Chains A and B, each alone.
Chain A
């Protein structure tokens, strides 16, 4: 069964760091890339970042640029969203989603909740 599984969420103090993981399983073909999308409580979806396999290229939303980074551990085939300098406004459920054609998000994980609070 094709699925994406996130982990690593939790409660963290403002200014601290946290790293989320995303694992793909059951897919026949490697994705072109992985997106991270977040949803603050009761709010809409916000695109956060993308990691493309080709040339290990990344791109970030302005709201997280310079604080968040995305990368892949090829030995474990796991994608990561590393978050530094967390702010209360970063509180959200974070989803990883499979990129299709640099166009749409085809498979989504179940999400992992990050709460930034003192």
Chain B
């Protein structure tokens, strides 16, 4: 199983917007709407942000939005806040009942 491709890092200033891409293939993102996004801060477990491509998990502010097109998914965070600094991971169901994660993207809020 291969991993999804994410940029290692992105950055933005408070109030700005950033988009994190997640590139897969026709065997995962391109075929299934089972794409999810997770936020992880140092020393803690990942936290679900987005499920089934674009649905926000309970308690996640609407500053977080996501979509997919073809084999690529994207997470957009608008109105950046310092507390958004974290690692972000995409995940997708893949064929033959397996799952794949992206390599993770470190968001720095300058």
Say yes or no: B97 contacts A105, CB within 8 Å: no
Chain A contact patch, size range:
20 to 34
Say yes or no: A62 contacts B45, CB within 8 Å: no
Residue among B40, B97, B103 with max Cβ neighbours from chain A (10 Å): B97
Say yes or no: A104 contacts B1, CB within 8 Å: no
User: Bound state CA distance, A101 and B100, in angstroms?
Assistant: 16
Say yes or no: B91 contacts A44, CB within 8 Å: no
Residue among B38, B99, B103 with max Cβ neighbours from chain A (10 Å): B99
Say yes or no: B48 contacts A105, CB within 8 Å: yes
Say yes or no: B103 contacts A44, CB within 8 Å: yes
Say yes or no: A108 contacts B46, CB within 8 Å: yes
Say yes or no: B46 contacts A95, CB within 8 Å: yes
- B residues near A (Cβ < 8 Å) are 1, 3, 34, 36, 38, 40, 45-48, 51-52, 57, 87, 89, 91, 93, 96-104
